[in-house]
Structures are given as structure tokens and as C-alpha cells.
Amino acid sequence: MSECVTDFRVARNELERFMLAVLARAGADEASASAVTRALVTASRMGTDSHGLRLLPHYVSVLQGGRVCGSPEMRFERRLPATGYLDAGNGFGHLAGYTAMRHAVEMAEEVGMGAVAVGRSSHFGAAGCYALAAAERGLIGLALCNSDPFVLLHGGRHPFHGTNPIAFAAPVADSPPYLLDMASSSIPWNRVQQYGAIGRELPDQVAADGEGRVTRTPAEVAALLPLGGADFGFKGAGLGGMVEVLSSTLAGMANGFRLLPMGGPDMSTPRGVGHFFLALKPDAFAPGDAYPARMRDYLDDLRAQPGRGEARVLAPGDREWTCQAHRDAEGIPLDSANQAAYDELAERLDVAPLQRLRGAGQR
């Protein structure tokens, strides 16, 4: 969560109205436009700004370029009672993600657990959206995805894995879920660009130059280090590999090292991204219904821990739910770059411009 320095805030329903209209004009069918909008608004409400509204112009480009099909024929095959495969038909990863997780949830409700590998897909935004979709149905969810290479192997010289995220959500009775959504690198690629733009040094052990040597100078960066840095990056790289195996090899897709870059210039060739979704029924394990009480005990114990100095200890997701409550009340901020990009989309696609939230910027 990083609140932009901005006075432009938009209400959630207005943002949804705009996204749905823009995507429809750019060629997305209703299911695709709804799924992309749901994922982007979910991320923006939670403060995951790297995977929120800023991606809309990118998705318009891939739709208009032909890389992503706006009216895909997605085919789900349940291979065994707990497993299945979704051929995403080169449609939006968001539609693939919500569809696959819905099937995983349905299998889990029936046999205790369900998993779906997805092939022929595309970028799906924030992995957390799909783990969350399982938790909203009362199940534990795991969502994984590969991507084109940005991250070194441990001891490697050039990027090999993507930032291959792990998202895990677990339901909590009468509360928002426990939600972990993390890349297997320490920082995302756009952090390098942000720091470069403001002339700031990167933290140590997060990025490397073209020879694989650690650097803190954004202009020298050619790759991210895996979580754990130069000494313990075998752990981050191993997690990235686990994500890769489950996302691409199970789906019969090429591994991330062979993926076309998300950023182009080719915006017309489908990329063949793979995903993996898992849902578990919490009460299908220990007898009785121990899970809700144990989860509550765990979070109570966690949140009661003393922080270091002024620091407060948080459970994964706490920061996001706080941000979401704030943004639901005060609006979702757009920085000046996103305002300009959204104005351009409105004009080019003949969609009514985004209306600023009444009262925002006037306090």
C-alpha cells in the first residue's frame, strides 16, 4: 500500500463502469471485461497498485494487438475427481483465473480438494485475486503463475525465472481472510524503474547487473535477485522453480524462460502463460470443525506479538484490508500518469471520462 500524492480519487463503481466500457470497446466480451475489471479493482482497492488500474492500458493494447482474444472459447476438462485442465483459448488470464478457481472450489466442495492447471493463458494481474476468490467461498486457496524472465537463478548471470508469485488465502470466521501474495524476488521489476526515476539507490541484495553482480544502482540493473539475495537466493530461486513446475509443466506449457516478454514489442502473438490453482476444504481434514477456532487462536497469538521498536506486527492481508476500507470510503487514487493514460483511453475509445469522486481533493 502506498498512497499516491494525488487529489484525484475515483469511486469503485465509477472505476468499474469505466473499465467495463473501455474493455468492451476494445473487443472484450462481457465475461472477459468483467473478470479483468474484477481483478484490477480488487488489486487497486487493496493497494496492490503495481497490479491494479495502471494495467488497463496494457490490457487494451494486447486486446487490440491480437495477443489476447477478447471472446475466447475456454474449455475445462475435469480429468479426475480432484483435478482438471483449463484451456484458456488465449483469452485474458483473469477470466481463466476466476474460471479455474471456481472449478477448483467446486471439486474441493465435493472431494475435499481441487486443482486446475491452466494453459494457453495470459497475464492475470495479481495472483492474490484468485486465492481470495477461494477464501470468499470458505476454502483455502493457492494461486501460482509463471512469467517471462526477470529473476536470476542462484549464482546465475542472466534472468531465468519470472517473478513467479505465490498467493495463499485462508478464510477467517467473521473477518477478512489471511492473504499472502508475494513474488519470489524481493522487489518487482517496476520498483527498479521507480527508483531510477527519482535517483534513489535500491536496497542491497535485490538486483544485479548484466554479469549477475549485485548492484544498487537502478541504471545498472539487468535482473532481479531471487528472494534471499546473493547468499540465500537458492531459496527464492527454488520457490520460483516450484511455481514454474506447477504453472507451466503441469499445464504442458513452455517454461517462463521461453515466454515472449509481457511488455512487447510483439503484441500480437499469444504467449502461452500457465497458471495453477488449488482449493482446499478446511473442514475436510481434522475431525470436528477445529479449523475456525484454531485459525482465530493463531491470528490472536500473532497479532499479540510485540513489535520491534515502533513497528507493529501484522498478519498477511491486514495492511491490504485496512487500505481497502480506506479506499472504499475515500476513493481509489490515480496518479498523474494514470490520469493521463485514462484520459487518452476515454478519448480514443469514445468512452465517457472517469469522473473524479465528489469531495475528493477538496478536503
- Assess 178 for contact with a second copy (CB under 8 A): yes
* Whole-number Å distance between alpha carbons of 77 and 57: 32
The Cα 137–Cα 108 span in angstroms is 11
Applying CB under 8 A, does 295 fall inside the site for a second copy? yes
Stretch that binds a second copy, among 36-44, 60-68, 246-254, 355-363 (CB under 8 A): 246-254
C-beta of 129: minimal distance to a second copy in Å? 17
Binding mask 29-48 for a second copy (x = CB under 8 A): --------------------
CA 243/CA 145 separation, integer angstroms = 6
Contact 21, 353 (CB under 8 A): no
- Cβ-based nearer residue to a second copy, 39 or 280: 280
CB closer to a second copy, 311 vs 329: 311
Of the candidate residues 307, 329, 362, 363, the single one contacting a second copy (CB under 8 A): 307
53 DSSP assignment: G
Residue 114 bridge partners (DSSP)? 279
Nearest to 280 by CA among 104, 77, 103, 127: 104
Least Cβ distance, residue 265 to a second copy (angstroms): 23
Residue 294 in the binding site for a second copy (CB under 8 A): yes
Q: Between 30 and 110, whose beta carbon lies closer to a second copy?
A: 110
Site string for a second copy, 256-275 (x = CB under 8 A): -xx-----------------
As a whole number of angstroms, the distance between CA 335 and CA 355 comes to: 14
Mapped onto helix, strand or coil, the DSSP state of residue 304 is coil
Find the binding residues for a second copy in span 113-172 (CB under 8 A).
113-117, 119, 140, 152-158, 160, 166, 168, 170
- Binding mask 194-223 toward a second copy (x if CB under 8 A, else -) reads ---------x-xx-x--xxx----------
Question: Residue with C-alpha cell 463502469?
Answer: 17
Are 55 and 72 a contacting pair, CB within 8 Å?
no
Closest listed residue to residue 225, CA positions, set 248, 196, 202: 202
Q: How far is the CB of 147 from a second copy (least distance, A)?
A: 14
Q: Is the Cβ of residue 286 or residue 337 nearer to a second copy in the bound state?
A: 286
**Range 224-243, binding a second copy (CB under 8 A):** 227-229, 231-232, 234-236, 238-239, 241-242
Query: Chain centroid to CA 95: how far?
Result: 13
Residue 79: in which H helix or E strand, if any? Answer: strand 75-80
Is residue 49 a contact point for a second copy (CB under 8 A)? no
Q: With binding defined as CB under 8 A, does residue 174 bind a second copy?
A: no
Nearer to a second copy, 155 or 359 (CB): 155
The Cα-based distances of 44 to 136, 173, 292 in angstroms read 18, 24, 29
**Least separation in angstroms between CB 46 and a second copy:** 15
C-alpha to C-alpha distance for 60 and 68, rounded to whole angstroms: 9
- Segment 56 to 85, residues that bind a second copy, using CB under 8 A: 77, 79-85
C-alpha cell of residue 252: 504442458
By the rule CB under 8 A, 316 interacts with a second copy: yes
Q: How far is the CB of 21 from a second copy (least distance, A)?
A: 36
Binding to a second copy in span 80-99, by CB under 8 A? 80-85
- Measure the CA–CA gap between 19 and 27, rounded to whole angstroms: 12
Q: What are the cell numbers at 258?
A: 521461453
